[in-house]
Amino acid sequence: MSAGQEQRTIRCLVAKVGLDGHDRGAQVIARAFRDAGFEVIYSGLHRAPEEIVQAAVQEDVDVLGISILSGAHNTLIPKVIEGLKQYGAFEDTLIIVGGIVPDDDRRELKEAGVAEVFGPGTPMSETVEFVRKHVPDR
Amino acid sequence: MSDADADADAEDLVDGVLDGDHRALARTITKIENRAPGYRDLVSSLHAHTGGAEVVGVTGSPGAGKSTLVDKLATRYRDRGLTVGVIAVDPSSPYSGGAVLGDRIRMASNIGDMDVFFRSMSARGQLGGLSTATGDAIKALDAFGKDRIIVETVGAGQNEVDVVRTADTVVVLVQPGSGDDVQMLKAGILEIGDVFVVNKADMDGVRTTVSDLQEMLHMRDGTTAVDAGHHGSGMAVGTDGETTGTDRDWDPRIVETVATEGDGVDDLIDTLTDHYDHLRTSGELDRRQRARHAEEIRRLLRSAAAELLEDELDRYGGIDALVDEVQARETDPYTVVDRVLDPLVDCIERSED
């Protein structure tokens, strides 16, 4: 009784990384997550990988969604993953990527630790469902 | 998770927090927010290690520049060799329970500096839970060893007012040229401000806003004196007759800033230092902390008692069954309450004998 009711809410960081000024997609997904009942922290534009890591660690998010349209995913995303590992935050953070990523790169990103890559035209409900299903149990 | 696991987990987290492990601190705040199993023990263990930090509450209407000012404050504190913790509270949707927490966007000056620990929290609509959760999160940051802790919230309602009142010094942010801001101040924020910041001081209308503020603060002092004459208790803002109102020996200061440029931020820090020194030397700090602890005990007691009563309601067939009776005019709410409470009252009276 005295422990009270646990109120688990899924926390997500929606991040824009690197020199990429297009965040319409990131904003739309942030809203979709909010409407799904998640708490969404939006990073703002032009963030460095270190900032994303700092935010993900401090905010203790369950899900890190990286939106990237600039084509620099092969450089930037491994840096983010490396940083998360440094703080022991990689294991229980679900990392998803949204944006334009060629098929060959998808495989590489997934090997590096990205759970899923969502391309243009993915229905919001699909992404929300994926997060609900794969959110780390902790 | 079993209880034993939760206990071991909590111990590790406490050690981690006291050791300066960022991940442990982040995880601790999550447990506090989620009211996860073991969070009470966690906060209990941390309490002994608190009391080292100066806590500043920042409030004001949306768009006044709170996040930007907090960012610059954090930077200047860091320049002075102090470590900083920030808790930014944003409202959550009453419909989905979700929230977009955007304050972090403005925290651009402290990139990669882990000694600024920034955490976004949402008002999850829990019963009195917001101020409990932020209060506990402040404890975690304090025990971690942060020198300064800033709590930022929109000054919109009682919930938010309760949150900033967990701070030692309350800063109220106003922007020039919006009569609405000063209107809002009438609704209870004015009484709790120790320092008023007129931000965007490079805009038109600064002089008017400053003089409006001065006038209102003058009136506030007047009202306080009259109140004290009639009731002898000063401004009793607290719910249970606790005098948690303003400190009459401190004249609220007005500071002008341009947060985007960082202008006036050093003045603000000096003013905050002055206020804290005043709190310490006048004994007001002690008084405020006592009032806060009393309020905390009462709040926890109330929520524990409410849970106890929920269980009790179930024994009477649940709230719906009781509502049915009241709805059919078979009984009334007062009688129902007596029926549920009487056995408890008996219990207490018997243990007194």
Cα-Cα-Cα-Cα dihedral sign, residues B102, B107, B111, B115: negative
**Contact at CB, B96 and A41, closer than 8 angstroms:** no
Integer Cα distance of B58 and B70 in angstroms: 8
Q: Which of B29, B95, B120 to mutate to test the interface with A (most CBs of A within 10 A)?
A: B120
pLDDT in tens, chain A (138 residues): 334 456 678 999 999 988 888 888 899 999 999 999 999 999 888 888 999 999 999 999 999 999 988 888 888 999 999 999 999 999 989 999 999 899 999 999 999 999 999 998 899 999 999 999 999 887
Question: Which spans in chain B are helix H?
Answer: 3-19, 22-34, 39-47, 66-79, 129-144, 158-164, 179-184, 190-192, 206-231, 265-282, 284-315, 318-327, 333-352
pLDDT of residue B324: 93
pLDDT of residue B315: 86
Q: Does the residue A126 lie in any domain?
A: no
Residues in chain B: 353
Please, what are the averages of pLDDT over each run of 10 residues along chain B (353 residues)?
67 92 94 87 93 92 87 94 93 75 80 88 67 89 96 75 83 79 65 88 86 81 46 38 55 91 94 95 91 89 87 87 93 92 87 72
pLDDT of residue B239: 38
Residues of B with CB under 8 A from a CB of A: 22-23, 26-27, 29-30, 33-38, 40, 92-93, 96-102, 104-105, 108, 111-114, 117-120, 122, 124, 126, 303-304, 307-308, 311
Q: Which of B104, B146, B299 to mutate to test the interface with A (most CBs of A within 10 A)?
A: B104
**Contact at CB, A60 and B29, closer than 8 angstroms:** yes
Question: Which of chain B's residues have a Cβ under 8 Å away from the Cβ of A16?
Answer: none
**Contact at CB, B40 and A2, closer than 8 angstroms:** yes
- Long-range pairs for B337-343 at CB < 8 Å and ≥24 separation? B340/B309, B340/B312, B340/B313, B340/B316
Q: Specify whether the CB–CB gap between B175 and B198 falls below 8 A.
A: yes
Q: Specify whether the CB–CB gap between B275 and B250 falls below 8 A.
A: yes
Domain range for residue B6? 1-49
Integer Cα distance of B245 and A59 in angstroms: 33
Q: Does the residue B308 lie in any domain?
A: no
**Contact at CB, A34 and B303, closer than 8 angstroms:** no
- Least Cα separation, residue A138 to chain B (angstroms): 9
Q: Does the residue B287 lie in any domain?
A: no
Q: Does the residue A127 lie in any domain?
A: no
Supply the CATH number for residue A28's domain: 3.40.50.280
- Least Cα separation, residue B20 to chain A (angstroms): 12
Domain range for residue A86? 11-118
**Contact at CB, B105 and A44, closer than 8 angstroms:** yes
Integer Cα distance of A128 and A10 in angstroms: 11
Q: Are residues B249 and B333 in the same domain?
A: no
pLDDT of residue A41: 93
List the B253-256 sheet strands across, edge first.
Answer: B116-123, B84-91, B148-154, B54-60, B169-174, B195-198, B253-256
Residue B118 backbone dihedrals phi, psi, to 5 degrees: -105, 130
Sequence-separated (6 or more) residues with CB below 8 Å from residue A99 = A25, A66, A67, A68, A69, A73, A119, A120
**Residues β-bridged to residue B84:** B116, B148
Question: Which of chain A's residues have a Cβ under 8 Å away from the Cβ of B307?
Answer: 1-2, 4
Residues of A with CB under 8 A from a CB of B: 1-9, 11, 30-31, 33-44, 48, 50-51, 54-55, 57-60, 87-89
Q: Does the residue B296 lie in any domain?
A: no
- Least Cα separation, residue A37 to chain B (angstroms): 4
**Contact at CB, A60 and B36, closer than 8 angstroms:** no
Supply the CATH number for residue B185's domain: 3.40.50.300
Amino acid at residue number B43? V
Q: Are residues B19 and B142 in the same domain?
A: no
Q: Are residues B223 and B98 in the same domain?
A: yes
Please tell me chain A's helix, strand, coil percentages from 3-state DSSP, rounded to the nearest 5: 40, 20, 40
Nearest CA-CA partner of B110 in B139, B148, B136: B148
Q: Are residues B72 and B107 in the same domain?
A: yes
Determine whether B238 is exposed, middle or buried from the number of CB atoms within 10 Å of its CB (0-12, 13-18, 19+).
middle
Integer Cα distance of A12 and A25 in angstroms: 15
Strands (E), A1-138: 11-16, 39-42, 63-68, 94-99, 116-118
* Total tally of structural domains belonging to chain B: 3
Q: Does the residue A65 lie in any domain?
A: yes
Q: Does the residue B299 lie in any domain?
A: no
**Contact at CB, B26 and A35, closer than 8 angstroms:** no
Nearest CA-CA partner of B16 in B30, B2, B4: B30
Buried-state track B118-147, b at ≥16 Cβ within 10 A, e below 16: bbbbbbbebeebbbbbbbbbbbbbbbbbbb
Q: Does the residue B137 lie in any domain?
A: yes
Q: Does the residue A123 lie in any domain?
A: no
Q: Does the residue B305 lie in any domain?
A: no
**Contact at CB, A59 and B307, closer than 8 angstroms:** no
Integer Cα distance of A137 and B90 in angstroms: 26
- Least Cα separation, residue A16 to chain B (angstroms): 11
Amino acid at residue number B184? M
**Domain's final residue, options B9, B29, B49:** B49
**Contact at CB, A41 and B108, closer than 8 angstroms:** no
A-B Cβ pairs (cutoff 8 Å, strict):
110
